[in-house]
Amino acid sequence: MLDMKIPQIDPFIGDEEYKAIKQCFVDKWITEGPRTKLLEEKLLGLIGAKYGVFAPNGTLSLYLALKAVGIGDGDEVIVPDFTFIASATSVIMAGAKPVFVDVNKDNFQIDVSLLKKLLNKHTKAIMPVHMYGTMCDMESVCGFAKENGLLVIEDAAQAIGVKYKGKHAGNWGDVGSFSFFADKTITMGEGGFVTTNNSEVYDKLLYLRNQGRKERGTFIHPEIGYNFRITDFHSAIGLVQFGKLPEIIKRKKIILGWYKEKLKGIEEVTMFRPFTGYDWIPFRVGLLANQAHQLMGYMESKGIQTRSFFYPLHKQPAFKEVISHLIKDSDFPNTCYAYDHGVCLPTYPTLTEDKVEYICSTIRSFYKERRDIFYKYYDNMFADKDYTKETKFIWEMTKTYGVGEVKKVLEIGAGTGNHTKEILKRDIEELFAVDIDPEMVVRLKKKLGLKRNLKIVEGEVDQLREKNFDLTLAMFNVVTYIDSEKQLKQFFSQVYSRLKPGGIFVFDVWNGVAAIKDPPKEKESKYKNVNETIKVKILPETDFTLQKVRLRYMFEIFKDNEIVTEGEYLLTQFLWMPRQLDLILKRVGFEKITTRSLNDLDKRSDSFDWKVVYVVQKPLKK
List strands edge to edge, sheet with 591-597: 454-458, 430-435, 408-412, 469-474, 499-510, 611-617, 591-597, 600-604
157 binds ligand PLP (CB under 6 A): yes
- Distance from C-alpha of 84 to C-alpha of 64, rounded to nearest angstrom: 17
Pick 87 or 398: Cβ nearer ligand PLP: 87
Pick 178 or 574: Cβ nearer ligand PLP: 178
Binding test (CB under 6 A) with ligand PLP, winner from 158, 195, 290, 335: 158
- Distance from C-alpha of 474 to C-alpha of 507, rounded to nearest angstrom: 5
Secondary structure (DSSP) of 198-227: -HHHHHHHHHHHBTT-SSSS----SS---B
CB of 59 to ligand PLP, least distance (A): 3
Binding test (CB under 6 A) with ligand PLP, winner from 57, 134, 235, 597: 57
178 binds ligand PLP (CB under 6 A): no
Which residues fall within 8 angstroms of residue 545, CB to CB, at 6 or more apart? Answer: none
Binding test (CB under 6 A) with ligand PLP, winner from 32, 75, 81, 155: 155
Q: Strands 499-510, 611-617: parallel, antiparallel or unpaired by DSSP?
A: antiparallel
Binding test (CB under 6 A) with ligand PLP, winner from 36, 39, 54, 59: 59
DSSP-H helix ranges across 28-110: 34-47, 58-68, 86-93
Residues 573/481, Cβ–Cβ less than 8 Å = yes
Report the residue number whose CB is nearest to ligand PLP: 58
Pick 181 or 233: Cβ nearer ligand PLP: 181
State the Cα torsion 116-120-125-126 to the nearest 10°: -30
Pick 133 or 512: Cβ nearer ligand PLP: 133
DSSP single-letter state for residue 608: T
Pick 60 or 240: Cβ nearer ligand PLP: 60
CB of 84 to ligand PLP, least distance (A): 4
Restricted to residues 179-238, the positions that interact with ligand PLP (CB under 6 A) are: 179, 181, 192
Contact window for ligand PLP (CB under 6 A) among 78-86, 292-300, 363-371, 578-586:
78-86
Contact window for ligand PLP (CB under 6 A) among 54-62, 144-152, 242-250, 373-381:
54-62
Pick 59 or 347: Cβ nearer ligand PLP: 59
Phi, psi of 69 (to 5 degrees): -90, 5
Which residues fall within 8 angstroms of residue 25, CB to CB, at 6 or more apart? Answer: none
Binding test (CB under 6 A) with ligand PLP, winner from 63, 84, 378, 507: 84
Task: Decide: helix, strand or coil at residue 244.
Answer: helix
86 binds ligand PLP (CB under 6 A): yes
Q: For residue 587, count other CB atoms closer than 10 A to its CB.
A: 12
CB of 272 to ligand PLP, least distance (A): 15
| CA atoms 317, 318, 324, 328: torsion sign | negative
CB of 15 to ligand PLP, least distance (A): 25
- Distance from C-alpha of 488 to C-alpha of 497, rounded to nearest angstrom: 14
Residue in 522, 552, 525 with CA at minimum distance from that of residue 536: 525
Pick 179 or 511: Cβ nearer ligand PLP: 179
State the Cα torsion 214-220-225-228 to the nearest 10°: 60
Restricted to residues 107-146, the positions that interact with ligand PLP (CB under 6 A) are: 129
Residues 348/10, Cβ–Cβ less than 8 Å = yes
335 binds ligand PLP (CB under 6 A): no
Residue 457, strand partner residues: 434
Pick 112 or 475: Cβ nearer ligand PLP: 112
CB of 129 to ligand PLP, least distance (A): 5
Binding test (CB under 6 A) with ligand PLP, winner from 83, 109, 306, 335: 83
CB of 485 to ligand PLP, least distance (A): 46
289 binds ligand PLP (CB under 6 A): no
CB of 347 to ligand PLP, least distance (A): 15
- Distance from C-alpha of 583 to C-alpha of 443, rounded to nearest angstrom: 36
Pick 169 or 473: Cβ nearer ligand PLP: 169
Binding test (CB under 6 A) with ligand PLP, winner from 36, 52, 54, 58: 58
Binding site for ligand PLP (CB under 6 A): 57-59, 83-84, 86-87, 129, 155, 157-158, 179, 181, 192
